[in-house]
Structure 1
Amino acid sequence: MFITDISLKRPTFAIVVIIALLAAGIISFMGLNLNEQPETNLPYTAVIITLPGASPDQMESKVTKIVEDNVGQISGVKHLISRVSEGYSLTVIEFDDSRTVDDAAQDVRSKLGSIRSLLPNDINEPVVSKINMNEMPVLSLTVAGDLSSVKLSNLVDNTIVPKLNSISGVGSVTTYGLMEREIQIKVDKDKLAAFNLTIGQIISGLSSDNIDIPSGKVADDSREVTLRTYSSIKNVEGFNDIIVATINGTEVRLGDVAEVIDGYEARDSISFYNGEECIGIDIVKQSGTNTVEVVDEIKSQMEALEASLPAGVSINVVSDNSTSIRASVHSVEETLIEGCLLAVAIIFLFLRTWGSTLVSAISLPTSIITTFAAMKIMGFSLNMMSLMALSLSVGLLVDDAIVVIENIVRHLRMGKTPIQAAKEATSEISLAVLATTLTIVAVFLPMSMMNGILGSFFKEFGLTIAFAVLISLFISFTLVPLLASRYVKDDEDIEPRTKFGRFLHWFNYQFDLLAGYYKNILSVVLRNRKKTIAVTVALFVASIALIPLMGMSFIPSQDKGIITIAAELDSGLSLDAATERAKKIEDIVNQYKDVQSVYTTIEKDSISLSIDLTDKKDRKESSDEIASQMRAEIKVMPGLDLSVAGTSGMSSSSAKAYAIHIQGEDFDQLLEYSQKAKQLLNDIPGAVDVGISYKAGKPETRIVVDRDAAADLGVAPSSISSTLGILFNGTTVGQYESGGDRIDVKVSVQDDQSTSLDSINGIYLASTTTGRMIPIEQLISKEYGTASSQIARYDKSRDIEIQANFIGLTSSELNSAFMDKLNKELPPPKGITIGAGSDQQFMEESAGGLVQAFILGILFIFLILAAQFESWLDPFAIMFSLPLAIIGAILAMFLKGDGLSMVGLIGIFFLMGLVTKNAILLVDFIKKRREEGSDRKEAILEAAMIRLRPIMMTTLAMIFGMLPSALNSGTGSEIWQPMAVAIIGGLISSTLLTLFVIPVIYTILDDIKGKLRSVKSKARDNILTKTKRVS
């Protein structure tokens, strides 16, 4: 091997290269960011448009449909998901992977600009945002204290928020429950009538008087001066002096018809932390920064900030993303260290010499440290994906070194010099070791190239393993033979006089006996090839038959010590009524001893609680078990659509875990069918928190404009609509600048004049034809009904989601049971379609991507093996080790009882690269012995005897290296356990069966090759015979 020869001839040069790699790794490690998950750009953008006072039906017809129809024309749009409520329209656009999120967002902005004239004039400016998972709060705080709501709001707005924004690494700070200052102009409609004025005239007067606009420039020979016409209000009292009309030469000022109040916006939500009213603060870090460092800096600054706050005011940490990151990273670090120690112990158990063990083990830290340099170059961070990649690859990183060092020791025992043994032993197995490493890389490269969200997450996972094993290969061909030539000696066994030495001697003696038994059994197996294949096929079929019994889920449940409760309330409740219900839920929650804190956010139609529990190791019950107990107590409260869940998957969320879409154009039919389907889902054992996304709306009075009467009297329908909007909701007419802040100016009628529909009486509009004042009640009629509270749309159709959480079964089991029940008892009628929910779609798309990567991985492995063995048939003997691994992987997951998850499937994917190693070592040795003239059976038995030790060493090193991951109970361990369990089970079955089945498969394929050669030979002989006869 070329690089081995260089390292043996120029040891100083080789050591310098390794030191340089280690230095680069250490420096890179110090510069790597520490985050919970890899940074990823999702192909989603969101469009938010608000129109105060508009009903959901109006928002849908006048805003949402227009946005959907036009934005849907943009190239690459995959799905459109819209949510419409009172005065609010949200449309989320999902793009396919061909688009970047930045370009997609720009196209959406351009499209909205081109259709602005199609939207209502009085909408607020549309907001287009990119949905970025990285822009989630890293720290959530609450501020509470013995101050009035106004003073507390001012303290947060003027002191705390500016301080937080100034901290290095902070990207944005968002507040909740803050009382926003507002200049309120309360018009007295009786005084308006007395002056013969309309509300429209008041607004016009305000707009023309409170101005600040550019007026051009004046230039002389030496300079240019900008002119501005400036007549803005200097103070709040100045609003009273604004002239709104002139009647018969008399000026009517705003103060004559309205009251000006320097007040605050009405709150539509309120928050409590441990029962105390508070203001919430979410802090998002800048992209590319270290989450832990940013949080630490914020907390450091908070200590000084709290000391300067008024007495009785406190800042509390509600959610700290760095806590779970630290705990997860610490758990992975422990797993990594434990795996390394166990792998080294296995090596020592077999090699029995400190020199051989340490030379093999040195590839572990060297490979891991150098991998950090590759991660830095690729822009990766230290996160759960990359760290678990290193943890799970511990056994792999010593694999090549074990094979090399074991072969060097074998050559030393042949009487060769250390240099000669190192050179020839490494060269002998170099192609086999290279092939085994490349097969692992071949598996993980397709994984890193998967599309979609799963591909974004597993890119760092796959490439980190690929980098690590390639570096390990380099170390095994350079540093390992170099050190072995100097420090590995034959018969350097520990003295058998010690108990430990005697144990090692006994263990290896027993292993040699086992090798002899294995050789004898293999001889019998080779004489019973059909029975061997039949038993293997039966085991494989039996394992596949277990899959339907396991259930399928996407990500295993994870206990992060958080419970989320979301309760949708009946429409039409006041904020006070919603607060009263929230307090009852808090009383129930606070009865549980494991509850540390409760953060509650209340809106008029919803309540959400985030509940922090004590650490997992300090609890007897899991978060899911506690959540189930809470659910049982809370669900008896009437008027709640409840969702209670312990943390699941990779993040906490109040969204229900299972959902399907039901779509149709006829909404009455859609609603009727959805309600019946909801009842069927509710009847399935294990389904809890069953609900539908549709919620009956508030009682609504529809104001119908008499267009004929309005036209006859010279009143525009739009002025009727805007006047009514001002009457009952008010309207923002501009901004007032004070102390650098721009404060909204809002016009409405006085509170006691807009309490009922009778408030319409006494409101007048000016006729554009006669100038006469027309009572508004002459131009309208009233209709009574119920408005939709919230409208959901999916791909331009009305949509109702049926949602549920589940206990004691997986999402796939629930979906299967529900679909069967629907097809048998409630088949969808014409006009109704049923589609998978977003999680189900995500799972299906991810499974499709994984299957594609799986096929590519197998193809790459086959091509690598074909290139190594210079044969298209021999690789099939090695490829048969793949189904042997599936047997143990499925059985292990079945026995553990976790079901088949996407993470478990990735574990099986992982196995593809691992299990071919043993088969390659066997087949490679067999072929070499046959090339040297050995009989086929003799070559097989000799390969079995000689390769048994390195095969068992590498397999046990991998198994014990992954054992801590399978047994770990620390934070975040639930996600990775199924992968480790699948890998360990697959390694066990594959190794045991490979030792017997692969030789059998090899002989069968060899017989086929012999028959093919015979056929070719006969054909050639026939051709030659015919040729001679002709001649």
Structure 2
Amino acid sequence: MFLTDISLKRPIFAIVVIIALLAMGVVSFLGLNLNDMPETDLPYAMINIVLPGASPDQMESKVTKVVEDAVGQISGVKHITSRVGESYSMTAIEFDSSRNADDAAQDVRAKLSSIRGSLPDDIQEPVISKVDFNAMPILSLAVSGDLDEAALSELVDETIVPSLNAVEGVGSIDTYGLLEREIQINVDKERLAALNLTINQVIGGLSSDNIDIPSGKVADDSREVTLRTYSGMKNAAEFENVIIANRNGTEIRLGEIAKVVDGYKEKESISFYDGAECIGMDIVKQSGTNTVAVTDDIKAKISQLQAALPQGIHINVVSDNSEFIRSSVESVESTMVEGCILAVVIIFLFLRTLSSTVVSAVSLPTSIVTTFAAMKLMGFTLNTMSLMALSLSVGLLVDDAIVVIENIVRHLRMGKTPMQAAKEATGEISLAVLAITLTIVAVFLPMSIMSGILGSFFREFGLTIAVAVLVSLFVSFTLVPLMSAKYVREEEEEHEPRGILGKFLAWFNHQFDLLGIYYRKILDVILEHRKKTILVTIALFVFSLVLIPMMGMEFTPAQDNGTITVSADLDSGLSLAAAQAKAKQVEEIVSRYPDVNSVYTTVEKDRISLNLDLTDKEDRKLSSDEISAQMRKELKLISGLDLSVTGTTSMGGSSGKNFSLHFQGEDFDELLRYSQKAKQLLAGIPGAVDVGISYKAGKPETTILVNRDTAADLGVAPSSVSSTLGILFNGVTVGQYEEGGDRIDVKVSVDNAQSSSLDNVGGIYLASSTTGGMIPIEQLITKEYGTASSQINRYDKVRDIQVQANYEGITSSELSRAFLDKLYKELPPPAGITVSSGSDQQMMEESMGDLGQAMILGILFVFLILAAQFESWIDPLAIMVSLPLAVIGAMIALFVTGAGLSMVGLIGIIFLMGLVTKNAVLLVDFIKMRREDGLQRKEAILEAGMIRLRPIMMTTLAMIFGMLPTALDSGMGSEMRQPMAIAIIGGLISSTLLTLLVIPVVYTLLDDMKKVISRLKERAPGMKRKEKKALKREIG
């Protein structure tokens, strides 16, 4: 082997290379960012459009449908989801994963620009953004204290937010419950009528008087000067002096017809922390920064601010994502250390000498540390996925070293010199070890190029493992032979441990030798009963597949991260005060639970949300799911709540509830009736909780009908009627007032006392262009009463209602299967209504397809590598049989432990595809070597089994015990790692035991098949003798 020869001939050069790699690894480790999940850049875009005063139905017809039709023409659009409410339309566009996210967002901007003329003139400027999945809040704060609302808002806005924004790595800060200053011009409609003025004249006067516009540039020979025309107000009181009209030389000023109030905008939401009203803040980090480091810097700044704030003002941490990351990383680190120790103990049990064990074990830290350098070069971070890859690779990384050192020790016992043994032993198994490593790499490379959200999350996982095993291979071919030649001697048996430890090691190895004898006898019997062996193996495989539907399927395991979210949609039309009363009822119940540390509540008119922070996981007797179930029983007794209580989080998903199905149809009334029946059906399925639908009951609506003929005769434009009514009941922002660098909105409205009901339209006049007089608006309109939608949901350009639920004691796939079976049997969808999977189910189905492709590619690559190694198309088939043997143990282990089947467990099974072929390669390779030495087939199989039993069991046990701490871990984030480790351990156990017994049987069957093919070929007419000999050599 080239690398081995170099390291043995030039030991200092080899050591220098290893030291350099370690140094790079250490430096890279210190520079790696620490985040929750890998950073993703998925192609999603969002369009937000506001049209003040428009009803949901108006927004849908005038804005949403126009936007959907336009963006639907863009290449690569996969799904379009819209939510339409009063005055707003929000459209999310999901593109194929092949599209670049920035290019997709730019295409959306270009398309929206091209249809700007088709949208209403009075919409606010559309906001188009690329959805950044990395821009999630890393820290949420609540500021409360003894100050009044205005003073507290000023303190937060002018002191706290700017200070935290200055922290390096902070991207943005969103505030909730902050009072926003507003200049309010409350017009007296009776004074307007008395002076023959219209509300639009007031707005026109304000707009022409309060200006701040660029006026070009002036240049002379030496410099250029920018011109700015400004006639704005220097203070709020000056608004009263604005001239609105001139009547026969008499100026009518704003103060004569309106009150000018320097006040605050109406609050849309209220926040509470442990019952006290507060101002909430969500802090989002900049993309590509270290979550933990940025959070630590923010907390340090908060400590400084807290010391300088007035007494009684508190900045409380509501949620801290870095705590979960830090705890998760610490948990992974501890399991890695424990795994390393256990793997080394297993090696020591078999090798019995300290020097051999140290030489094998040195590959672990060397491989792991060097892998950090590759991770840094590839732009990876230390996150759940990359750390999971390293923790599960502990036993794998020592595997190559074990095989090499075991073979070196075997050659030393043949009487060879250390240098000769190191060189020849490594060369003897180099191809087998190379093939083993390449099969693992071949399995994980397809995983790293998967598309969609699964590919984004598992790319780092797959490449981290691939790099780690390649580094391990390099270390096994360089450092291990070098250290073996230097430190391992055949005489070391004389220096084996004495005393109790020595007796235990001697007993252990004696028992293992007896196991080898028994194994040879069992193998001898099995080779005589090949048909029964194959039938039993097939039966076990079928049994393992039967377990799959019994386990159910989830996208990813739910994680207990120490929080519970309680949210509820409220009845339409409630006031903020009424919504607050509902929230207080919920707070009183959840606050009684001893495991709840704090409660952060956000109240809106139609929704309440409570984030509960729990005590540490290890200090609780109940899981977050169990606490959630208890809370749910109490909370559902409160009327008027469409409740959702979730105690765990999972990767992916978009809806507030864990399970949803789309119901779509053009006839909305029929769609609503059918969805409500389906909701009742779902509520009757055991395990379905918090059942609801996405539709909200409409609220009362009055339609103002303009009499076009009358308006035309009197010279009044219908648009003037609409805008005047909008100002009467909602007001209108007419500009901004600048003060101290801040820009404050200026809002014109009719005095509240004069606009509190529809009866107040009296006394509002419009100017007539035909008569020159003033026309009462009542002469131009009639009223119709009805009900308007409070929110409209659309999916792929069709109205959509989602039937939603959370689930207890079952998986999402089990609930989906039970619900769909019941739905199509008892309530089949009528013509015109379609039922499709919700976002979570769609994501799982698409991921299953991606995973299937990756698995097929991995199997193909493994086969091709083995075919290249053995120079045969048939011999690798014997090794490939080990793949289904691994599935047997993986499925049984997942079922028995209750871990269930998820994408993480399936990734573990793919992981096994690379691992389990190792044992079969070692066995088949040695069988072929012994046959080439002249042994008969059966004798070669029995001898190969005896000789390879020790390295096979040693490497397998090292991998199993290396992963055991991960499988038993109960620390933060362990739910994501456990199923994979359990599947791998179960698969290793079954594949190893069955490989030792079944693979020799399969090898003999394939060998017999080759002989039959050879005989058939020999009888082929026209084949020359020379060609027959060549054919025999080709098929082995």
TM-score normalised over the length of structure 2: 0.98
Alpha-carbon offset, residue 650 of structure 1: 3.6
SS at match of 2:466: helix
Alpha-carbon offset, residue 11 of structure 1: 0.4
Q: Which residue of 2 aligns with 1:458?
A: 458
Change (3 A) 1:931 1:742: same
Could you tell me how far apart the structure 2 residues matched to 1:906 and 1:113 are? 44
CA contact (8 A) 2:652 2:840 kept: no
Which amino acid in the other structure matches residue 603 of structure 2?
I
Could you tell me how far apart the structure 2 residues matched to 1:701 and 1:543 are? 63
Q: Which residue of 1 aligns with 2:89?
A: 89
Tell me whether 326-335 or 1007-1016 shows the greater mean CA deviation. Answer: 1007-1016
Alpha-carbon offset, residue 653 of structure 1: 8.5
Could you tell me how far apart the structure 2 residues matched to 1:237 and 1:517 are? 101
SS at match of 1:478: helix
Which amino acid in the other structure matches residue 982 of structure 2?
V
Could you tell me how far apart the structure 1 residues matched to 2:654 and 2:324 are? 15
Q: Which residue of 2 aligns with 1:50?
A: 50
Q: Which residue of 2 aligns with 1:269?
A: 269
Alpha-carbon offset, residue 225 of structure 1: 3.1
Deviations along 1:64-111, one digit per CA (max 9) or x if unpaired, are 111111111111111000001111111000000121111111111111
CA contact (8 A) 1:643 1:654 kept: no
Which amino acid in the other structure matches residue 650 of structure 2?
G
Alpha-carbon offset, residue 174 of structure 1: 1.2
Could you tell me how far apart the structure 2 residues matched to 1:1022 and 1:398 are? 50
CA contact (8 A) 2:37 2:383 kept: yes
Q: Which residue of 1 aligns with 2:105?
A: 105
Q: Which residue of 1 aligns with 2:952?
A: 951
CA contact (8 A) 1:171 1:284 kept: yes
Tell me whether 182-191 or 1016-1025 shows the greater mean CA deviation. Answer: 1016-1025
Gaps of 5+ in 1: none
Alpha-carbon offset, residue 994 of structure 1: 0.2
Change (3 A) 1:472 1:242: same
Alpha-carbon offset, residue 314 of structure 1: 0.6
Alpha-carbon offset, residue 680 of structure 1: 0.4
Could you tell me how far apart the structure 1 residues matched to 2:2 and 2:218 are? 80
Say how many residue pairs are matched: 1027
Alpha-carbon offset, residue 652 of structure 1: 10
Q: Which residue of 2 aligns with 1:301?
A: 301
1:630-641 superposed matches below 5 A: 630-641=631-642
Could you tell me how far apart the structure 1 residues matched to 2:711 and 2:991 are? 84
Could you tell me how far apart the structure 2 residues matched to 1:491 and 1:570 are? 84
Q: Which residue of 1 aligns with 2:1031?
A: none
Could you tell me how far apart the structure 1 residues matched to 2:234 and 2:944 are? 95
Which amino acid in the other structure matches residue 421 of structure 2?
A
Which amino acid in the other structure matches residue 937 of structure 2?
R
1:539 aligns with 2:536: no
1:855 aligns with 2:856: yes
Q: Which residue of 1 aligns with 2:586?
A: 585
Could you tell me how far apart the structure 2 residues matched to 1:735 and 1:1021 are? 97
SS at match of 2:734: strand
TM-score normalised over the length of structure 1: 0.98
CA contact (8 A) 1:186 1:750 kept: yes
Q: Which residue of 2 aligns with 1:661?
A: 662
Deviations along 1:112-144, one digit per CA (max 9) or x if unpaired, are 111111111221111111111210011111100
SS at match of 2:492: coil
Could you tell me how far apart the structure 1 residues matched to 2:215 and 2:306 are? 47
CA contact (8 A) 1:559 1:647 kept: yes
SS at match of 2:259: strand
1:316 aligns with 2:339: no
CA contact (8 A) 1:881 1:915 kept: yes
Q: Which residue of 2 aligns with 1:761?
A: 762
Structure 1 stretches of 4+ with a deviation exceeding 4 A read 494-497, 651-654, 1020-1025
Q: Which residue of 1 aligns with 2:340?
A: 340
Deviations along 1:285-316, one digit per CA (max 9) or x if unpaired, are 11111111111111111111111111111100
Q: Which residue of 2 aligns with 1:352?
A: 352
Alpha-carbon offset, residue 548 of structure 1: 1.4
CA contact (8 A) 1:693 1:800 kept: yes
Alpha-carbon offset, residue 496 of structure 1: 6.1
Alpha-carbon offset, residue 763 of structure 1: 0.5
CA contact (8 A) 1:46 1:92 kept: yes
1:336-415 superposed matches below 5 A: 336-415=336-415
Deviations along 1:126-166, one digit per CA (max 9) or x if unpaired, are 11111112100111111000001000000000000110111
1:413-812 superposed matches below 5 A: 413-493=413-493, 495=496, 497-650=498-651, 655-812=656-813
Alpha-carbon offset, residue 1020 of structure 1: 5.7
Could you tell me how far apart the structure 2 residues matched to 1:282 and 1:910 are? 38
CA contact (8 A) 2:168 2:294 kept: yes
Could you tell me how far apart the structure 1 residues matched to 2:299 and 2:841 are? 39
SS at match of 2:137: coil
Could you tell me how far apart the structure 1 residues matched to 2:698 and 2:390 are? 53
Tell me whether 226-235 or 378-387 shows the greater mean CA deviation. Answer: 226-235
Q: Which residue of 1 aligns with 2:178?
A: 178
CA contact (8 A) 1:564 1:654 kept: no
CA contact (8 A) 2:353 2:497 kept: no
Could you tell me how far apart the structure 2 residues matched to 1:617 and 1:217 are? 68
Q: Which residue of 1 aligns with 2:1034?
A: none
Alpha-carbon offset, residue 982 of structure 1: 0.5
Q: Which residue of 2 aligns with 1:965?
A: 966
Could you tell me how far apart the structure 2 residues matched to 1:1023 and 1:489 are? 54
Q: Which residue of 2 aligns with 1:35?
A: 35
Which amino acid in the other structure matches residue 513 of structure 2?
D
Could you tell me how far apart the structure 2 residues matched to 1:225 and 1:612 are? 57
SS at match of 1:266: coil
Could you tell me how far apart the structure 2 residues matched to 1:304 and 1:996 are? 68
Could you tell me how far apart the structure 1 residues matched to 2:86 and 2:516 are? 77
CA contact (8 A) 2:331 2:972 kept: yes
Deviations along 1:644-665, one digit per CA (max 9) or x if unpaired, are 1102314898810000000000
Could you tell me how far apart the structure 2 residues matched to 1:62 and 1:830 are? 28
CA contact (8 A) 1:172 1:285 kept: yes
Gaps of 5+ in 2: 1029-1036
Root-mean-square deviation (CA, aligned residues, Å) is: 1.4
Deviations along 1:978-1016, one digit per CA (max 9) or x if unpaired, are 111110000000000000110111111111111111122
Alpha-carbon offset, residue 874 of structure 1: 0.7
Change (3 A) 1:923 1:717: same
Alpha-carbon offset, residue 1023 of structure 1: 6.4
Tell me whether 59-68 or 322-331 shows the greater mean CA deviation. Answer: 59-68
Q: Which residue of 2 aligns with 1:329?
A: 329
Deviations along 1:906-930, one digit per CA (max 9) or x if unpaired, are 1111100000000000111111111
Alpha-carbon offset, residue 495 of structure 1: 4.8
Q: Which residue of 2 aligns with 1:4?
A: 4
1:243 aligns with 2:243: yes
Could you tell me how far apart the structure 1 residues matched to 2:610 and 2:109 are? 35
Q: Which residue of 2 aligns with 1:904?
A: 905
CA contact (8 A) 1:690 1:805 kept: yes
Could you tell me how far apart the structure 1 residues matched to 2:655 and 2:834 are? 27
Alpha-carbon offset, residue 750 of structure 1: 0.4
Change (3 A) 1:251 1:496: closer
Alpha-carbon offset, residue 901 of structure 1: 1.1
Which amino acid in the other structure matches residue 1010 of structure 2?
K
Alpha-carbon offset, residue 227 of structure 1: 2.9
Tell me whether 768-777 or 168-177 shows the greater mean CA deviation. Answer: 768-777
Tell me whether 742-751 or 704-713 shows the greater mean CA deviation. Answer: 704-713
Alpha-carbon offset, residue 234 of structure 1: 1.4
Alpha-carbon offset, residue 520 of structure 1: 1.1
Which amino acid in the other structure matches residue 799 of structure 1?
D
Alpha-carbon offset, residue 213 of structure 1: 1.9
Tell me whether 848-857 or 482-491 shows the greater mean CA deviation. Answer: 482-491
Deviations along 1:390-438, one digit per CA (max 9) or x if unpaired, are 0000011000000000000000000000000000000000000000000
Could you tell me how far apart the structure 2 residues matched to 1:205 and 1:54 are? 26
Q: Which residue of 2 aligns with 1:206?
A: 206
Could you tell me how far apart the structure 2 residues matched to 1:705 and 1:552 are? 57
CA contact (8 A) 2:919 2:995 kept: yes
SS at match of 1:24: helix
Deviations along 1:432-482, one digit per CA (max 9) or x if unpaired, are 000000000000000011000110000000000000000000000000000
Alpha-carbon offset, residue 898 of structure 1: 2.6
Could you tell me how far apart the structure 1 residues matched to 2:913 and 2:230 are? 74
Tell me whether 114-123 or 4-13 shows the greater mean CA deviation. Answer: 114-123
Deviations along 1:758-813, one digit per CA (max 9) or x if unpaired, are 11111111112332211111111111111111100000000000000011111001
Q: Which residue of 1 aligns with 2:1033?
A: none
Could you tell me how far apart the structure 2 residues matched to 1:454 and 1:655 are? 20
1:1000 aligns with 2:1013: no
